[in-house]
Amino acid sequence: MNLTSKTLWPTIAWTLLLGIAAPPSLQAYIGPGAGFAFVSSFLVLLLAVLLAVFSLLSWPLRLLIGLVFKRKGRGRHKTDISRVVVVGLDGMDPKLAEGFMKEGLLPNFRRLKERGDFTPLATSEPAISPVAWSSFTTGVDASHHNIYDFLTRDPCTYAPILSSADIAAASRVFSVGKYLIPLGRPRATLKQKSKPFWKILGERGIFSSIIRVPVTFPPEKFNGVLLSGMCAPDLKGSQGTFSLYTSKGDPSGTRVGGMRYRVSPSGNCIRTELHGPQNPLRRDGGELTLPMEIRLDPSRNRVRIAVSGQEFELDRGGYSPWIRVVFRPGLGMKVRGICLFHLVRTSPQFELYVSPIHIDPEHPSLPISHPSIYSVYLAKLIGPYGTLGLAEDTWALNEGAIDEEAFLKQAYLLYEEREKMFFKVLERTPNGLCACVFDTTDRVQHMFFRCLDPDHPSNRGKETEKYRNVIRDLYIRMDGLVGRLLEVIDEKTLLLVISDHGFTQFKRGLNLNSWLRDNGYLFLEEGRDESGDWLKGVDWRRTRAFALGLTGVFINRKGREAKGIVDEGEPLAALRQEISRKLTGLVDPQTGQNAIRSVVETESAFAGPYTYDAPDLLVGYNAGYRTSWDGATGRVTPAQFEDNTRHWSGDHCVDPALVPGVLFSDRKIRRDGPGLTDIAPTVLKALGVEQPTYMKGRPLI
Ligand SMILES: [Zn+2]
């Protein structure tokens, strides 16, 4: 996964938030005004009674539908498996797992392996989480599900856009004085193509519970329940914007990954504002804020915070529980979120971290579950929980807003929530499919992989020895999860523990756009030797190729890109081959190593219908390499290569052959070389459902 596209998100935030205010159905989520909490719980009760009556009255009809379904679902055979449980441990690496098992550190994984099997699981091309999990979900490759990266480019503007969802505001707006009232619904569409296999199960009458599988925002209807995962936004509409309140001399409101706000204590009191989303109702926009008062107790390293009608104490280094915050854009509306507070320090300067404001699962201002009441139901079961797709705030650690300890504390806090949720959901899914993805494994490895390599440039100036065992301990914790899971499943359950990809070091970054510039494929406007973010300042009339995202190179194709100059046919094929040839085996002059292991030409390597708009080339980096930080935000810089000195020190956006994931199964795996696209056919077969012919994967058991 990637957090490099921060500056994009505010630009789409307003669009999202117009959506919050817009349609009657969405308004219901944010509440019509005071007293809503009471009214809504009353409504839930009323709805439950009505549903019970309806369900009784409609029984004959449902019986008929059931019979039709059965006929339609002729592919459903009887099997000795009544339930499949898929646990996704994002980024779990087979080599590390193997090593720790050999050391005897993972007794439960070993037990699972001995009961069934353990094997590497081929990842997707490219090996990026949204791509890989989409292949898990649909059983097809990127050219069939159309997700090639977190981002793609808008061919009309060359600006980055989300690959996973298309979110647009209501097209008509009604204006009353200073207010703008959107008419009609905003459009939120999942851009993933093909069909989730749980939808196929649902058509055969098999129920599924799907928890936090990536690329499920906005949630789609099917026969089951689903909570959205990676790619679900925060309340600002971004993929996670933290706030740091500091008495250090930084200018206020500057964006360094998150937002930094300058505060000045007056005596022992700080009066400031909690910064929320843009006001969707006001013509002049502006941010929604809440007054926040912080009382300092420097002698005890503690503060007392009053915000949004709540008061709580916070010790240095500690986290608050989820704090509910309610913003009021006007017209009696409410926009609700939840966030975590963490007191970084009180002296020599004051620093308070506030996590991105997550959509409140009990009052979601955007749909984050199917049915929409499901996120509320889960909150009633386990209390408030993080809903942001990329919930663990890797960016805050990368930017030095929080330290390693605080990051780990937050990551495991979110992990505990997820585990609690998972076991509750599992209990309530006695038959059918229960799938849950845990992100902790990916995020912790991204941030601490450097500690496995004493020569990692990221170790400079950082504690390494102290965190030497963080990744080992992470795997041990996951082993605990597997242990608890093995205790509660029976022999009629098929258990699969999988990861979408493995991990490798990210020691050196390559800026592909700088390389394209140096090789005469990309040109900057006259007088520039650097571009801005997202290729601002690139001269499109002369540029033949540009990179965008974590592995993609686009050719500036005539007829496809707004200012395309490369003709289709022979000129396009020749250019693709030329760049591909030059990039393969590209040597890093500083280390003498090959930075790029392979390059895939999308249109010849894939057979699916979604190749025309895809990146023309997918770059497979060698172990130790990845796109540089500037490269990932589309900034053309003087140097091609640079050391990676950030906390984010491990990665997987490399040649997929280098980073397979894991597959643990409590049944024997019957095929060699399994891959992610085999999981959907395996689950379908296990539950007696014929796999659709378009799925290229094959059942593994
Ligand atoms: Zn990742």
DSSP string, 15-81: HHHHHHHSSHHHHHHH-SSTTHHHHHHHHHHHHHHHHHHHHHHTHHHHHHHHHHHHHHTTT----S-
Q: Is residue 86 part of a domain?
A: yes
Distance 646 CA to ligand 1 centre (A): 15
The predicted structure's pLDDT at residue 65: 55
Q: Is residue 342 part of a domain?
A: no
Residue 170 predicted with pLDDT over 70: no
Q: Is residue 632 part of a domain?
A: yes
- Tell me, yes or no, whether 609 and 674 share the same domain: no
Q: Is residue 528 part of a domain?
A: yes
Residue 29 predicted with pLDDT over 50: no
Distance 443 CA to ligand 1 centre (A): 6
- Tell me, yes or no, whether 490 and 510 share the same domain: no
The predicted structure's pLDDT at residue 366: 86
Distance 313 CA to ligand 1 centre (A): 34
- Tell me, yes or no, whether 540 and 595 share the same domain: yes
Distance 393 CA to ligand 1 centre (A): 13
- Tell me, yes or no, whether 528 and 640 share the same domain: yes
Within 316-399, strands assigned E span: 323-330, 333-339, 341-345, 351-354, 358-359, 369-370
User: Is 366 within 8 Å of 30 (Cβ atoms)?
Assistant: no
Concatenated DSSP letters of 592-610: --BSEEEEEEHHHH--SS-
- Tell me, yes or no, whether 667 and 599 share the same domain: no
Distance 73 CA to ligand 1 centre (A): 37
Distance 209 CA to ligand 1 centre (A): 24
- Tell me, yes or no, whether 639 and 685 share the same domain: no
Distance 513 CA to ligand 1 centre (A): 22
Question: Structure tokens of 259?
Answer: 């937002």
5-17 average pLDDT score:
34
- Tell me, yes or no, whether 513 and 622 share the same domain: yes
Q: Is residue 293 part of a domain?
A: no
Scan for tokens 């906005």, then name that residue: 218
Distance 129 CA to ligand 1 centre (A): 6
pLDDT digits (tens, 9 = 90+) for 433-465: 999 999 999 999 999 999 999 999 999 999 999
pLDDT confidence tier of residue 568, bands split at 50, 70 and 90: very high
The predicted structure's pLDDT at residue 385: 98
The predicted structure's pLDDT at residue 21: 32
**In a 3-state reduction of DSSP, which class is residue 632?**
helix
Q: Is residue 301 part of a domain?
A: no
Distance 692 CA to ligand 1 centre (A): 30
556-565 average pLDDT score:
97
The predicted structure's pLDDT at residue 165: 86
- Tell me, yes or no, whether 98 and 218 share the same domain: yes
Q: Which residue has the higher pLDDT, 67 or 532?
A: 532
Distance 145 CA to ligand 1 centre (A): 20
The predicted structure's pLDDT at residue 257: 64
638-648 average pLDDT score:
96
- Tell me, yes or no, whether 414 and 473 share the same domain: yes
Residue 485 predicted with pLDDT over 70: yes
Residue 37 predicted with pLDDT over 50: no
- Tell me, yes or no, whether 497 and 516 share the same domain: no
Distance 72 CA to ligand 1 centre (A): 40
Q: Is residue 296 part of a domain?
A: no
- Tell me, yes or no, whether 102 and 211 share the same domain: yes
Considering its fold, how many domains does the chain have in total? 2
CATH code, domain carrying 218: 3.40.720.10
**Type of residue found at 379:** A
- Expressed as residue numbers, the domain containing 532 is 506-645
pLDDT digits (tens, 9 = 90+) for 296-334: 987 889 999 999 999 999 999 999 999 999 999 888 888
- The average confidence (pLDDT) of the chain is 88
The predicted structure's pLDDT at residue 12: 33
pLDDT digits (tens, 9 = 90+) for 367-414: 899 999 999 999 999 999 999 999 999 999 999 999 999 999 999 999
pLDDT confidence tier of residue 75, bands split at 50, 70 and 90: low
User: Is 117 within 8 Å of 467 (Cβ atoms)?
Assistant: no
Distance 200 CA to ligand 1 centre (A): 28
Distance 91 CA to ligand 1 centre (A): 6
Strand partners, 563: none
Residue 484 predicted with pLDDT over 50: yes
15-33 average pLDDT score:
29
**In a 3-state reduction of DSSP, which class is residue 654?**
coil
Residue 59 predicted with pLDDT over 70: no
Q: Is residue 156 part of a domain?
A: no
Which of 528, 534, 559 lies closest to 546 in space, CA to CA?
534
Q: Whole-angstrom Cα distance, residue 30 to residue 71?
A: 42
User: Is 288 within 8 Å of 278 (Cβ atoms)?
Assistant: yes
Q: Residues of 343-372 as b/e, b for ≥16 C-beta within 10 angstroms? A: bbebeeebbbbbbbbbbbbbbbbbbbbbeb
- Tell me, yes or no, whether 608 and 667 share the same domain: no
Residue 148 predicted with pLDDT over 50: yes
Domain end call among 602, 618, 645: 645
Residue 202 predicted with pLDDT over 50: yes
Distance 1 CA to ligand 1 centre (A): 3
